[in-house]
Amino acid sequence: MIRVGLLGTGRIGSLHAENIASHRESTLDAVADIDNESANNLAAQFGAIVKSADEVISDPNIDAILIATSTDTHSDFIEKASSAGKAILCEKPVDLNLTRAKKCMDKVSAAKNPIMVGFNRRFDPNFAQLKKSLDNGDIGNRELLTITSFDPAPPPISYVKRSGGLYRDMMIHDFDLSNYIMGELPITISAVGHSLVDPEIGAAGDVDTAVVTMVYADGKIAVIKNSRRAAYGYDQRIEILGSEGLLQAENILENSVVKSNNDGIISAKPKYFFLERYLSAFKAEWNAFVKSINDDEQIAVTLEDGVAALAMAEAATQSQSTGNSIQLKEVL
Amino acid sequence: MIRVGLLGTGRIGSLHAENIASHRESTLDAVADIDNESANNLAAQFGAIVKSADEVISDPNIDAILIATSTDTHSDFIEKASSAGKAILCEKPVDLNLTRAKKCMDKVSAAKNPIMVGFNRRFDPNFAQLKKSLDNGDIGNRELLTITSFDPAPPPISYVKRSGGLYRDMMIHDFDLSNYIMGELPITISAVGHSLVDPEIGAAGDVDTAVVTMVYADGKIAVIKNSRRAAYGYDQRIEILGSEGLLQAENILENSVVKSNNDGIISAKPKYFFLERYLSAFKAEWNAFVKSINDDEQIAVTLEDGVAALAMAEAATQSQSTGNSIQLKEVL
Amino acid sequence: MIRVGLLGTGRIGSLHAENIASHRESTLDAVADIDNESANNLAAQFGAIVKSADEVISDPNIDAILIATSTDTHSDFIEKASSAGKAILCEKPVDLNLTRAKKCMDKVSAAKNPIMVGFNRRFDPNFAQLKKSLDNGDIGNRELLTITSFDPAPPPISYVKRSGGLYRDMMIHDFDLSNYIMGELPITISAVGHSLVDPEIGAAGDVDTAVVTMVYADGKIAVIKNSRRAAYGYDQRIEILGSEGLLQAENILENSVVKSNNDGIISAKPKYFFLERYLSAFKAEWNAFVKSINDDEQIAVTLEDGVAALAMAEAATQSQSTGNSIQLKEVL
Amino acid sequence: MIRVGLLGTGRIGSLHAENIASHRESTLDAVADIDNESANNLAAQFGAIVKSADEVISDPNIDAILIATSTDTHSDFIEKASSAGKAILCEKPVDLNLTRAKKCMDKVSAAKNPIMVGFNRRFDPNFAQLKKSLDNGDIGNRELLTITSFDPAPPPISYVKRSGGLYRDMMIHDFDLSNYIMGELPITISAVGHSLVDPEIGAAGDVDTAVVTMVYADGKIAVIKNSRRAAYGYDQRIEILGSEGLLQAENILENSVVKSNNDGIISAKPKYFFLERYLSAFKAEWNAFVKSINDDEQIAVTLEDGVAALAMAEAATQSQSTGNSIQLKEVL
C-alpha cells in the first residue's frame, strides 16, 4: 500500500485525491495547502491529515508525494521530496523558467526515487491506442502529425497573466504529446500566434490563437494548433499521416444520441473540458505511477520529458517574436 | 441509336426524357400525354414530336417505349407495345390489381422484346455496392435484413386516394429491393400499419406508417419500415446482418459540411426526395436498359419481378387487416 | 450508510459488489452463494462476511438485499426479503414463469419496502438522454421505435436450455426498454424467430434470431430485433421516428481512433459485451437504488415493470408459434 | 449559344469538352493540340473541327477559348485570345513565372472580354456551402483555417521536374482556396517542406510533404498541409474555427456502404482523385463561366486571383529555403 501526501488541494489536487483514494494500492494519508479551509475540506472527505507541505515531505510514513501546487513551487518541492527519498508525481509544467527546471533536473538526476511529470494526455486510452497502432506499423512511417487542441473558453485574465503564456501553459501539453507520438524531439520550431479571442489577453502580452510547425531530423513535420476558445467545447484531436495511411483520434462526445430534424443531423458536443474529457486519463496516469513504484518499472513521463516540453515552449515563444524558425538545441 | 417514344410527360417522365436525351446511344423521338401542354413543352425542350400514345407505339421508327403514364394504363400499354415489338421500360407498379398484372405478364410472356420494370433503387450505386459485397460473401450468410424508407412528406390526399394504398404505392419499392438484396422471395409476410401522420390518410382507408416482417425458406428474416413523413428529409437506408458481420447503406447527405457550435455537431440533412436522392440511380437504370437492348443481355428487372413485388404488397394488405401472417404463395 | 447483503456471487453479483463497495453511502456487509469458494473470494475482496442466504435476509443489521442468484430463486428471495422489511434490488427477470412472477408481485404488493428490478439499460446515460429528449418533445410525437440488440456471440448451449428462451432471457431487456421509451405498454405483439446462428439452439427448441412488432393504443409501432451473434461485437442501438424528427442512440465504440488505408476508413468496434458497454449503467442503477432509499423516492423500475416485460416475452413466444398477433391483455 | 474552341485535348481538356458539349448553352466547335491524334479523337467524339491553336483563336465564329494546354503556353494564349476579343477560361496556373504572369495580367487589363482562371475547387458544392455558411456568420468571425490536401499518389518524376515545384503546381489550388474562404490575402507566409514520399522528388529539388502557415492583417491564421501521397485516396478537407463555432467540409466517399466485422467498422475510401472528386465542381465551373458571359456578370475567378495564388507559391518557396516568414507584398 502506497501512502500518499498531496501538496495542493485545488481543482486538480482534488481530482488526484479521488484517484489516490479509490486505487486499491494507494491511500491518501496527508494533504497540505496554503488555503487551510481547502485542505481541511479535502482531508475530511478522504480521512487524511492536514499538515504543512514540509511536514508532509519529511513524514517517514509517506511513500509518495503528489505535487499539485502553483507552478512556481514545483521545482522546490521536487528537490525537497527527492532528497527525502519520496516517489514523486508532479503536475505540469516543471517550471515556467527553463533554467530553473533544468537546474532542478540536474539536482535530482542522481536520485533513485521515481519522479513522474503529470502529462495526463499520454494516458488517454484513445491516444494510447493511436500510439500503439503507430508503433505497430499500421500506417507505415510517420510523415505529418497534426494536433488540434482548443479549450472551450479562455481562463480568467488574472490566470493568463501569471500563466507564462499560451505556449508554456497550454501548448506544453501538445509539445509533450507530439514527443510521445513521434518518439523523438523536433529539430526546428516555428510559431505564429495572435490574440483573436479576447483583447485583454493581447493587452497582457499573450496570444490566444497559435500555430506551431516543427520539423524532425529526417524531415517529418508536426503542426500544433491551439485556441483558447471553441464554442462547441473541448476540441482534442490527433491526426497523423503515414506512408501507408492516416490515423485520427477523434473527439469524445457527451453522449451517443443523434437527432435528425429540419435543422440537420445533430450529434452531441465534445465533452466540455479536461475534467470530463480526461477523467479516465488521470485515473490511468495514477495507475501507471503506482505500477512504476510497485514493479520498479521505467517511469512513463520523466523529468527530462518535462524539461523538453518546456524548452519547446521557450523556442515557440522566441519564434513568434522573431518570425524565424528556432533550433531546439539552441534553447535546450 | 435507340429511338425512344415516351408515354407520360409528368415529373417522372420529364426525368426520363433528360436521361434518354443525354445518353449517347438513345434519342427522344416522340412523346405523348393526355395533357397537350405538358407534352408540347417537353417535346420542344428535347426536339421530339408530339403524337398520341397509340401513334407512338405503332410508329415503326420507334425502337423503345418508356411508359410513365398513370398506373391504370401500364398493363394496356405494355401489352400494346409488346405486340408492336418494342423494347419497354415501364414505371412501377405494373398495375394496382394483381390479377390484371399477372394477365399482362402471361400475355407478353412469349414476346422476345425486352421488358423492364422501373424499380430505380436497384440501380443506386450504394445499394448496388452493398449487394455486390453481400454476393461476395463479405459478411457470410444473410440473416436479418432491415429496410428503412421514409418519405419527407406525405403526398396530397387526392394522390393517396387513387394510389392503391401505402403497400402498393410506396412499399412496393422496398419489396422489390428486398427481393434484389435477398436473391429470393419470402415465404410469409406480416404487416402492421396505422395512420399517424395525417388523419385524412386514415379517413381515406390507408395507412401512413407501417412495418412488414417477412420470413424466408431457411428462416432468414426481413423487416421493412415505411413512413410517409420524416421531418429531416428522405430516409433511405438498408442494413443487413450476416453470419460474419453487418452491412449498412447509409443516407446520402446534401453536402459534406459539418458545423459545430453550442447546439452540437450538425451535419446536413439527407437529400430531400427521390429526384435528388436517386438522380444517379435513374441514370444508371436507363444505361442498363440501353445496354440490355444493345448487348442482348438479360433484363435487370423483369415483369416477373414487378408482379412479385405487387403480390407482396397484396399479402401485406391482407395481413394488416387480419392480424395474421400470410403465405406469399397463396397470393401469387 | 446502507448495509447491503448480496445473494449470488457470480459474474453479475461481483459487478454489483464493486459498485456497492465503491459507493459512498453503501457498504457490502454480507454475501451468500451456493458455491462457497466463490462467496469466500468475493467476501475477502470486499471485507464482507459469508453467510447463508436466509441468514443474510434475516440479519437485522442488513438494510438492503441485492438478488443476483439463479432466476428460479428470485421470486422466493423477493418474498422473503420483503417480509423481512429489506430494500430489494433483484436482477432480471423476476421469474421465467409469468404466473409465479405475478403471484410474487401480489404477495409483496402491500409492502412498504422499496423493490427494484435490475433492468440496467434504463440507466445507460445515452438511452437516458434519448428518453429525456423525447419527453422534452424534441421530435414531437412518438411514431415508430426500433431497438436493435445483438449479442456478440451465443451463450453455451447448456445456458440456452435453462434460459427460458430468447424472448424471456434476452429480449426481455428490450421489452422493458421499449416500455421505458414509449411510456406505455403495447396492445398487440407479433413475433417471428428462427435458429440461424447455431443449429443446436434450434434443436433445443429455441431461436437465436427474432423480430417482434408491437402496436400501441393510438397506432404507434415498435420493432425489436435480436440476434445471438454479431461478428463485430455488442450491437445496442435505439432509433425512434417522431412527428418532427428522428432520435438515434448509437453504439459506443472501444476507442475513438480511425484508421484510413487502402482497405477503407476503419473505426473501432462497439464495446464487446454488457460488462464493458453497460459499466456506467450498472453504476447509475446502483446510484438510483441508493437514492430511492435515502430520499424515499419512487423506485425507477418496479416489480410491475418486471412482470410486464415477462408478459410481453410470453406473448411473443405464443405469437411465434401461432403466426398470429397476440393481445397483451390476454396474457397479463 | 456560346461556340467554344478548346486548346489542349489531354485529360483535363477532355473533361472540359464533355462539360462544354453537354451544356445547353455551349457547343464545342473546334479543338487544337500539338498531338494530332489526340485532337482528332476528341473532335470526332464531339463533332468538332480540328484546327491549329492560332486558327481557333482567330476564328470569328468562336466566342470563347478554353486553354488547357501546357502551363508555359498559358500567358501567350491568354494574350492572343484576349486581343481577339474572346471570352477565356484558362486552366491554372497562369504561369510558373510570376513576372510573366503579372505582365500578362497587365497586358490584358484593359480588355473587356471575360477572363477566368480555372480554380475548380471554388465550385465544389461542399466548399461553396462552407463559404456560404461562413459569409452568413454561422460561426462568427474567422480565426483559424486549415486546408488538408493530399494527393493519392505522386505524379511521374518527369512531371515533377517541369511542374515548378509543389507550391506552384499543387498547393496553388489551396492558396486560391484560402483566398476564397478568407476573403482576403495573407500578410506573411511561412513554409516548411521535405521529401518523404519519394527520394527522386527530393533529388529533383522538390518537396512532397509541406506545411504553410499564413497570417492575415488582423491576426487570423491559416494552415495548408500538402502531401503527394495518401494511401487511402484523395484527401480534401477544409476546417475553420470561428468565434462561435467550427465548420468542416469533410471528404466525399466512394459510396455510403459501411461494413462492420471483426476488423472494425469500415467505410469506403474518399473518391480517388480530382476527376472523381471534383466532377461536379468542373461542371459548376463551366456553368459559372457560361453564366458570366450570358448575364454579363462578374467573373468568379479573375486573372488577379491567379496571380495572387502564384505569388503566394513564390513566397512559400522562398520561406522554405530561408526558414523565415515572407511578407507577401515583397513578392507581389
Structure confidence by residue, pLDDT tens digits, D166-210: 999 999 999 999 999 999 999 999 999 999 999 999 999 999 999
Average model confidence (pLDDT) across chain D = 97
CA distances from D285 to B19, C246, D32, D172 (A): 22, 36, 21, 17
* Residues C135, C36 within the same domain: no
Residue C80 lies in a domain: yes
* Residues B67, B129 within the same domain: no
Q: Which three cell numbers stand for residue D329?
A: 507584398
Reported confidence tier of residue B318, pLDDT bands at 50, 70, 90: very high
C266 touches A at CB < 8 Å: no
D146 touches A at CB < 8 Å: yes
* Residues D50, D198 within the same domain: no
Q: Which three cell numbers stand for residue A113?
A: 526515487
Contact D259 B250 (CB under 8 A): no
B136 touches D at CB < 8 Å: no
* Residues A64, A89 within the same domain: yes
C252 touches A at CB < 8 Å: yes
Judge contact between D205 and D192, C-beta under 8 A.
Answer: no
D1 touches B at CB < 8 Å: no
Biggest alpha carbon–alpha carbon distance for chain C: 66
What number of other Cβ atoms are within 10 A of residue B156's Cβ?
Answer: 8
Cis amide bond preceding B93, omega within 30: yes
- Grid look-up 511561412 returns D190
Give the nearest partner residue to B324 out of C211, C246, C323, using CB atoms. Answer: C323
Judge contact between B212 and B136, C-beta under 8 A.
Answer: no
Cα–Cα dist A63/A84, whole Å = 10
Cα–Cα dist A96/B281, whole Å = 62
Question: Percent of chain D at pLDDT above 90?
Answer: 97
* Residues A108, A135 within the same domain: no
**Sequence letter at residue C183:** G
Cα–Cα dist D62/D70, whole Å = 21
Residues 6+ apart with CB under 8 A from C172: C92, C93, C309, C310, C312, C313
- Among candidate residues C87, C113, C139, the one where a domain is terminated: C113
D209 touches A at CB < 8 Å: yes
Q: DSSP string spanning B83-138? A: HTT-EEEEESPS-SSHHHHHHHHHHTTT--S-EEEE-GGGG-HHHHHHHHHHHTTT
Residues 6+ apart with CB under 8 A from C254: C233, C268, C269, C270, C271, C272
Edge to edge, the sheet with strand A2-7 lists A49-50, A26-32, A2-7, A64-67, A87-91, A115-118
A262 touches B at CB < 8 Å: yes
Note the ipTM here.
Answer: 0.96
What number of other Cβ atoms are within 10 A of residue B159's Cβ?
Answer: 10
Residue D65 lies in a domain: yes
Closest CA to B207 of B228, B233, B184, B178: B228
Chain A environment of C246 (Cβ under 8 Å) = 259-261
Q: DSSP string spanning D40-54? A: HHHHHHHTPEE--HH
Judge contact between B6 and B31, C-beta under 8 A.
Answer: yes
**Sequence letter at residue D104:** C
Confidence (pLDDT) at A297: 84
Contact A245 C260 (CB under 8 A): yes
Confidence (pLDDT) at A162: 93
C120 touches B at CB < 8 Å: no
Confidence (pLDDT) at B296: 85
Judge contact between C125 and C281, C-beta under 8 A.
Answer: yes
Domain span at A36:
2-113
* Residues A19, A46 within the same domain: yes
- Among candidate residues C113, C138, C164, the one where a domain is terminated: C113
CATH number of the structural domain spanning residue C7: 3.40.50.720
Cα–Cα dist B43/B233, whole Å = 32
Nearest CA in chain D to B249: D257
Judge contact between B9 and B39, C-beta under 8 A.
Answer: yes
What angle do helix axes C125-135 and C171-182 make, rounded to 10 degrees?
Answer: 30
Q: What contacts 24+ positions apart, CB below 8 Å, involve C38-46? A: C38/C9, C38/C10, C39/C9, C41/C9, C42/C6, C42/C9, C42/C13, C42/C14, C42/C17, C43/C9, C45/C17, C46/C17, C46/C20, C46/C21
B268 touches A at CB < 8 Å: yes
CA angle D317, D321, D324 (to 5 degrees): 95
Contact C231 D265 (CB under 8 A): no
Beta-sheet pairing, D245-249 with D209-215? unpaired
Confidence (pLDDT) at D158: 96
D237 touches A at CB < 8 Å: no
Contact B139 D256 (CB under 8 A): no
Question: Number of Cβ pairs closer than 8 Å across B and C?
Answer: 117
What number of other Cβ atoms are within 10 A of residue B135's Cβ?
Answer: 10
Nearest CA in chain B to D243: B261
A167 touches D at CB < 8 Å: no
CA distances from C139 to A246, B229, C239, D290 (A): 37, 12, 12, 44
C252 CA to chain A: closest CA distance, Å? Answer: 7
A88 CA to chain D: closest CA distance, Å? Answer: 39
Per-residue pLDDT of B187-228, as tens digits, reads 999 999 999 999 999 999 999 999 999 999 999 999 999 999
Cα–Cα dist C21/C104, whole Å = 29
Say if residue D47's pLDDT is above 90.
yes
CA distances from D23 to B2, B183, D31, D278 (A): 22, 40, 17, 17
CATH number of the structural domain spanning residue A236: 3.30.360.10
Please give the torsion angle defined by the CA atoms of residues C201, C204, C206 and C209, in that order, rounded to the nearest 10 degrees. Answer: 10
Per-residue pLDDT of A85-128, as tens digits, reads 999 999 999 999 999 999 999 999 988 899 999 999 999 999 99
Biggest alpha carbon–alpha carbon distance for chain B: 65
Say if residue D111's pLDDT is above 90.
no
Closest CA to C303 of C92, C37, C4: C92
A125 CA to chain C: closest CA distance, Å? Answer: 7
Judge contact between D69 and D8, C-beta under 8 A.
Answer: yes
* Residues C109, C126 within the same domain: no
D261 touches C at CB < 8 Å: yes
Chain D environment of C263 (Cβ under 8 Å) = 266
* Residues B213, B66 within the same domain: no
**Which of residues 292 through 331 in chain A touch B, CB cutoff 8 A?**
none
Confidence (pLDDT) at D24: 86
C226 touches B at CB < 8 Å: no
Residue C198 lies in a domain: yes
- H, E, C per residue of B269-311: CECCCHHHHCHHHHHHHHHHHHHHHHHCCCCCCCHHHHHHHHH
C153 touches D at CB < 8 Å: no
Reported confidence tier of residue B234, pLDDT bands at 50, 70, 90: very high
Beta-sheet pairing, B26-32 with D235-242? unpaired
D324 CA to chain A: closest CA distance, Å? Answer: 5
Cα–Cα dist A217/A313, whole Å = 19
Chain C environment of D260 (Cβ under 8 Å) = 230-232, 269
Chain C environment of D269 (Cβ under 8 Å) = 260, 262, 264-265
Confidence (pLDDT) at D296: 85
Closest CA to A13 of A43, A52, A56: A43
Give the nearest partner residue to C195 out of B219, B223, B235, using CB atoms. Answer: B219
Number of domains observed in the structure of chain D: 2
D263 by DSSP, 3-state: which? coil
Cα–Cα dist A77/A88, whole Å = 9
Contact B264 A263 (CB under 8 A): no
Residues 6+ apart with CB under 8 A from B59: B5, B29, B30, B51
Judge contact between C83 and C296, C-beta under 8 A.
Answer: no
Nearest CA in chain B to A261: B232
Reported confidence tier of residue B297, pLDDT bands at 50, 70, 90: confident
Give the neighbours of chain C: at least 3 Cβ pairs within 8 Å: A, B, D
* Residues D192, D242 within the same domain: yes
Residue D157 lies in a domain: yes
C307 by DSSP, 3-state: which? helix
Low-confidence ranges of chain A (pLDDT < 50): none
A68 by DSSP, 3-state: which? coil
Cα–Cα dist A78/D113, whole Å = 74
Beta bridge partners of B149: B226, B236
Q: How far is CA A307 from the centre of its chain?
A: 12
Per DSSP, C332 falls in state: -
Beta-sheet pairing, C235-242 with C221-227? unpaired
Contact D196 A143 (CB under 8 A): yes
Residues 6+ apart with CB under 8 A from D164: D71, D93, D96, D313
- In degrees and rounded to multiples of 5, residue C283 shows phi and psi of -65, -45
Helix then strand then coil, in percent of chain D rounded to 5, is: 40, 25, 35
Chain A contact probe: residue of B260, B261, B267 with most A CBs at under 10 A: B260
Q: Which three cell numbers stand for residue A253?
A: 462526445
Confidence (pLDDT) at B102: 97
Residue B213 lies in a domain: yes
D240 CA to chain C: closest CA distance, Å? Answer: 21
Residue pLDDT tens, chain C, 332 long? 999 999 999 999 999 999 999 898 999 999 999 999 999 999 999 999 999 999 999 999 999 999 999 999 999 999 999 999 999 999 999 999 999 999 999 999 988 899 999 999 999 999 999 999 999 999 999 999 999 999 999 999 999 999 999 999 999 999 999 999 999 999 999 999 999 999 999 999 999 999 999 999 999 999 999 999 999 999 999 999 999 999 999 999 999 999 999 999 999 999 999 999 999 999 999 999 999 999 988 899 999 999 999 999 999 999 999 999 999 999 98
- Grid look-up 480530382 returns D274
Judge contact between D239 and D126, C-beta under 8 A.
Answer: no
Judge contact between B286 and B16, C-beta under 8 A.
Answer: yes
Nearest CA in chain C to A266: C247
Contact D225 A144 (CB under 8 A): yes
Residue B288 lies in a domain: no
Residue D304 lies in a domain: no
Question: Number of Cβ pairs closer than 8 Å across A and C?
Answer: 81
* Residues D99, D168 within the same domain: no
Segment holding B78, helix H or strand E? helix B74-83
C168 CA to chain B: closest CA distance, Å? Answer: 20
* Residues A217, A325 within the same domain: yes
Reported in sequence order, the residue ranges of chain B that DSSP labels E, i.e. its strands, are 2-7, 26-32, 49-50, 64-67, 87-91, 115-118, 142-150, 188-194, 209-215, 221-227, 235-242, 245-249, 257-261, 264-267, 326-327
Cα–Cα dist A114/A116, whole Å = 7
CA distances from A155 to A69, A158, A166, B33, C118 (A): 18, 8, 11, 70, 43
- Among candidate residues B113, B144, B167, the one where a domain is terminated: B113
* Residues C36, C15 within the same domain: yes
Residue D122 lies in a domain: no
Alpha helices in chain D, H assignment, sequence order: 11-22, 36-46, 53-58, 74-83, 98-107, 125-135, 157-161, 166-169, 171-182, 199-203, 274-277, 279-295, 303-322, 328-331
C260 touches A at CB < 8 Å: yes
Confidence (pLDDT) at C220: 98
Chain D contact probe: residue of B133, B146, B257 with most D CBs at under 10 A: B257
Reported confidence tier of residue D251, pLDDT bands at 50, 70, 90: very high
C125 CA to chain A: closest CA distance, Å? Answer: 7
A79 CA to chain D: closest CA distance, Å? Answer: 39
**Sequence letter at residue B115:** I
